[in-house]
Amino acid sequence: MVNGFRPRTLREALQILSANNCTVMAGGTDLMVQRARGFSIRPDFDRPLVFIEPLEELKHSVRENGTLHLGPCMTLSDLLRHPAVPDPLKEIIGMMASPPTRNMATLGGNICNASPAGDTLPWLYAMNAKLKLQSAEKERIVAIEDFITGPKKTILQSDELLTGILVPDTRFHLNRYRKLGQRKGMSLTKASFLGMAEISGNTVTDIRIALGSVAPRIVRAAEIERSMLGRYVGDINAAAAVITERYQPLITPIDDARSTAMYRKKVSLDLIRQFLETLSGSPGTGTKSE
């Protein structure tokens, strides 16, 4: 029979992980489905399971000195209810799964599962989120894009837990999120788009674009974003097609049961272009430029 651990504190959990080769169980919504489906990457349920979801230390969320700290064991429902969680993240979570699944699924699980279809990831990438990884001996903080190295692959060591999610508390006046799934709130995402921008005096002062499910990793291109800073929204509007074209090579979806690659690519590029075109006419722009 498989063994299981129910640590009462984070310290105890980390000690268990350093002494045993375990499988970490948070909400279980990914692990249990992966086992049921017999995925190629099958969770190892022959090893002892460590149940971390009840750990209070991993369920806190606070805003402090310009940083939002999100507890990895907060469930998606916890986050929807929490006053410190920004609206754009709540909008994304509100479109994930269904209430019963949201009552189980954790934010840390969505991150550590490292699926390109993980719906919280585009927001975390766009916000430059950092992750705190802890073992019994040490602690390190890494950027989310360095944490996830490929589909279902992370740099997490077997004795480490994700213990904190640190998000710079940056606000954007313009937030746009689009998710294409088969059925609202249920199936995995076919393609998702997140665009955020800050505009002042008709000029782009900050812009972030991230896409999910359309490449082996979340797509975010810091260089393309930088090239738009300081430019007039009217210019961006006029150059929208050209800028969008630069995303073309980055968007490399695969054909799968959820959707064809061509469809996902076309929709993604359309969403980028439309977002760039709507920058003029958004808060921060004086007159609507044509």
Partner 1 sequence: MIIEFRLNHEKRTIDIDPSARMLDVLRDDFGLTSVKEGCGEGECGACVILVDGRAMNSCILPAGAVCGKSVVTLEGFKHTKRYRAIENGFLKAGSVQCGFCTPGFVMATESLLNENPHPTDEEIKDGLSGNLCRCTGYNMIIQGVRLAIKEGEGLW
Angle of helix 233-247 relative to helix 261-278, nearest 10 degrees, comes to 170
Closer residue to ligand FAD in complex, CB, 106/280: 106
Handedness of CA 29, 35, 40, 44 (dihedral sign): positive
Judged by beta carbon, residue 96 or residue 204, the one nearer ligand FAD is 96
Footprint (CB under 8 A) of partner 1, residues 161-190: 184-187
Angle at 181 between CA 177 and CA 182, to 5 degrees: 155
CA distance 131 to 60: 15
- Of 46 and 223, the one with the shorter C-beta distance to partner 1 is 46
Distance CA 8, CA 75 (A): 18
Interaction of residue 276 with partner 1, rule CB under 8 A: no
Residue 239 has which token pair?
Answer: 């150059």
What are 201's two structure tokens? Answer: 């005096």
The answer to whether 114 and 152 are in contact (CB under 8 A) is yes
Closest to partner 1 by CB, 65 or 184: 184
Residues that bind ligand FAD (CB under 6 A): 23-31, 33, 52, 72, 96-97, 101, 104-106, 108-110, 112-113, 117-119, 156, 161-162, 186, 189
200 touching partner 1, by CB under 8 A: no
Cβ-based nearer residue to ligand FAD, 113 or 244: 113
DSSP 8-state class, residue 75: B
Tokens of residue 267, six digits: 């929709």
Binding at 289: pick from ligand FAD, partner 1, none (beta carbon under 5-8 Å per type): none
Sites for partner 1 among residues 42-61 (CB under 8 A) = 45, 49, 51, 53-54
Task: Give the number of other CB atoms < 10 A from CB of residue 233.
Answer: 26
Q: Which does 106 bind (CB under 5 to 8 A by kind): ligand FAD, partner 1, none?
A: ligand FAD
Q: Binding partner 1 by CB under 8 A: which of 97, 127, 194, 279?
A: 97
From partner 1, ligand FAD, none, which one binds at residue 135 (CB under 5 to 8 Å depending on kind)? none
For 229, counting Cβ atoms within 10 Å of its Cβ (0-12 exposed, 13-18 middle, 19+ buried), the class is exposed
Give the shortest CB-111-to-ligand FAD separation in angstroms. 7
List for the chain the helix, strand, coil content (%; round to 5): 35, 25, 40
Binding residue count for partner 1, defined by CB under 8 A = 33
Contact residues for partner 1 (CB under 8 A)? Answer: 1-4, 6, 25, 27-29, 31-33, 35-37, 45, 49, 51, 53-54, 77, 94, 97-101, 103-104, 184-187
